[in-house]
Structure 1
């Protein structure tokens, strides 16, 4: 099920310890929510950057990072920070994330409007993909914060 939250901070949602966000495949997390992930989870960033430098994180891939209390899904949605996000890559990465979550009994994931902020895509197109995919995983709650606002 998909729940849209008009504004907020994915990291401050009650009862949520699993997060997802769109990433580029060049190893940069310098703006937007990616920068927040880099700051909050520096070990994750180091691993992500190394994967990118080795050419092991590509469009449509998911880098799964487990931390003390949850899981972070880094979704390969942009080739570089200079390029737009790619709808097919978003769909592929989300399917991989949902499949993994289903197998590993992860039932709640918070994420921003992937691909529609710095990724430059039309949110309605991305939203359609998310809603279509989530129908196959009704046991997984996706909490999507549409506009960032710190508490």
Structure 2
């Protein structure tokens, strides 16, 4: 499944992140520089690989970290030269042929070869979609970063709730925050997509959400399923509303009031319109290897 995710790639919770690189060992600008600063061990290994002239356009190098993996994807030969669309296509072909064997099941891509690479996104996008859209794993393309916030009249809700919890909440604390969020939102609670007025009630057993025209009910099993999905780092309206038809937008609107999530914009491949989703709001963590001395990290995983 291909989804456009309007956030920074480095904030993605995906299993694997794609880092665009050249083949001479320089990570001086753009997303590559961010990875260099964040992962000095990976950068050192990358320089050694480039010195041995093992990395070329069309070859890919996978760095397996303890929390996330990084797929180093050459879009340039030399850092001074522009990217070429044919190199993007060669790399994508290699990815398609090798991702399953490597165990990649979820991955975030940037706009390959654009920005410092000089390619036009209008030319790159259809190539990426051609190769990535048919794949049966979760694929995100971070085409741009768009900040989505709560309406001004609801901004106080997560701020107050954040002061009432000390650590990352447990499932029990998550449930306890629901009635408190509803109370703090009061009559100003709305569907963040349709802007329709919403009403909500949680009695400790069942959550009820309603608009003037429809009402949904969610029992303990439904709420547990929502919690589990959210803990994976990313929650869409489709996943949120699996238990009740067309309830996803209303549920996202309620959960967006909680202090440990943030609203993001996504757009599914093939859909004309974007939609709101949620991801866990957490600081970026290091993705250094579990064993920094492992020689496995110093070699190409496929080429």
Question: Normalized per residue, which structure has more strand?
Answer: 1
- Give the TM-score, by structure 1 length: 0.88
Q: Which residue does 2:44 correspond to in 1?
A: 46
Instruction: Tell me if 1:12 matches 2:16.
Output: no
Relative contact order (C-alpha < 8 Å, sep 6+): which is higher? 1
CA distance in 2, matches of 1:125, 1:87: 8
* Larger-Rg structure: 2
Number of equivalenced pairs: 148
Indicate the residue corresponding to 1:61 in structure 2: 59
Query: What are the superposed Cα offsets for residues 68-126 of structure 1, whole Å, 9 maximum, x if unpaired?
Result: 02321111110111111111111111222233222233221112111011100011211
Distance verdict in 2 for CA 1:2–1:108, change over 3 Å: same
1:110 aligns to what? 108
**Residues 2-151 of structure 1 mapped to structure 2, 5 A cutoff:** 2-6=2-6, 8-13=7-12, 15-137=13-135, 139-148=136-145
- Secondary structure of residue in 2 paired with 1:99: helix
Unaligned runs of 5+ residues in structure 2 are 148-280, 282-303
Q: Structure 1 unaligned runs (5+)?
A: none
Residue 31 of structure 2 aligns to a residue in which SS? helix
TM-score by length of 2: 0.46
Counterpart CA distance in 2 for 1:144 and 1:3 is 6
**Closer, same or farther: CA 122–16 of 1 in aligned 2, 3 Å:** same
Preserved contact between residue 73 and residue 97 of structure 1 (Cα < 8 Å)? no
Secondary structure of the 1:118 match is helix
Displacement after TM superposition at 1:144 (Å): 1.2
Q: State the Cα distance separating 1:149 from its structure 2 match.
A: 6.8
The answer as to whether partners of 2:15 and 2:105 remain within 8 angstroms in 1 is no
| Gap change, CA 1:147 and 1:136, over 3 Å in 2 | closer
* 1:142 partner SS: strand
Shift in Å, 1:27: 0.7
Deviations 1:118-137 (CA, angstroms, capped at 9, x unpaired): 10001121111111112442
